A and B are shown apart, each in its own frame.
Chain A
Amino acid sequence: MSWIAGDLNRAQLMGRLPAIGEHFQRLHASFYPLSQLPPETMELCRLRLAQLHRSDADFALAEYPVAAGKREQLQNWHSAAVFSAAERACLELAEVHAMDCGAITDALADAVKQHHGEAGLVALLQGLGVFDGFIRLGLIWQAAPAGGKQHG
């Protein structure tokens, strides 16, 4: 139960200030249809952020379909064979981004660009910033997400 406004979930809380909250929701949704980065990769990175923040509610969400094996083995993406080199590059950058965005190295950024180009790197960094924000909002508000919208 959220300490701000009782028994409301994250989406409902955002809806209480629609002039801003609705723009935030639209921006969040805009990352999955992008051509610059595969939506499954975007979703894997969102899920990894949820794991790092220990947000079980955000990890339980499914914003875009992800192969069951990948979801189950996401914590071990370094060694699990189900992840492609391109996915590993994005997941590695997502992990460092979550801990300290200033610690992202040129090598980490170059690895993402090698697979997805400069636009792919920008799309990923934009998405990570917004996904991280949604997760943190849920945690600090103590409000669960409303349930994912399937973008795929």
Chain B
Amino acid sequence: MASTARVSPPAGSTGNVIRDSALGIVPETLDHYLALNAAIWDAGPLSAAEVELARLRNARHTGCVMCQAVRYDVAIADGLTEDKVQVIRQDDPMAGLSERERLLVAFVDQYNLDPAGIPESLQQDLLEAFREDELLHLSLLVAWFNGSSRCAVALGGMPEAMPRLEISVPR
């Protein structure tokens, strides 16, 4: 993984972590990026803790060190514990997760590893545990975080390790 950034961020500072990042040199997409990111946290039926669990599980797949170090304050306020975060960092997290959380992790893994091969048994289990709007929220948030996490990795500048960093949702 490239530890040197491949792109320079824009000059100056707006105080917004997204606008001040390398993404800021393509300003035409920024408003869409920020609006979608905020909607993922604010406008879906899943709790912030569930969104964060899915985001962190996804970050493990993409290998984004920064994404794995970040914790969103809204998820912490919603009750997400560091113990739970450590559980979903395991290869096959089972103990310590509710059935709903286990299925959430299974969906993220399937999306990353073989989206076309989702087994009927997993489909049925998901349909029993989640409402339709919750499944759509889960799908869209994984697609969003997967794409943005891949972009972050590919832009380079990722350290070998980072301490835990609590942040607010950029708007």
Binding site for B on A (CB under 8 A): 3-5, 13-14, 16-17, 19-21, 23-24, 26-27, 30-31, 33-34, 36, 53-55, 97, 101-102, 104-106, 109-110, 113, 118-119, 121-123, 125-126, 128-130, 132-134, 136-137, 139-142
Min CB–CB distance A144 → chain B (angstroms): 13
Residue of B nearest to A29 (CB): B32
- Stretch of B68-76, B77-85, B91-99, B140-148 with 4 or more beta carbons under 8 angstroms from chain A: B140-148
Interface of B is mostly: helix
Alpha-carbon separation in the docked complex, A97 to B148 (Å): 12
Min CB–CB distance A6 → chain B (angstroms): 10
Instruction: Select which of B22, B29, B115 is within 8 A of A136 by beta carbon.
Output: B115
13 residue pairs A–B, Cβ–Cβ below 8 Å: A21-B136, A23-B35, A24-B143, A26-B35, A30-B28, A31-B29, A125-B154, A126-B33, A134-B143, A137-B140, A139-B116, A140-B115, A140-B116
Contact B116 A129 (CB under 8 A): no
Contact A136 B35 (CB under 8 A): no
Interface of A is mostly: helix
B23 interface residue (CB < 8 Å to A): yes
Binding site for A on B (CB under 8 A): 1-2, 4, 6-8, 22-23, 25-26, 28-29, 32-33, 35-36, 39-40, 43-44, 62-63, 110-111, 115-116, 118, 120, 123, 127, 132-133, 135-137, 139-141, 143-144, 146-148, 150-151, 153-156
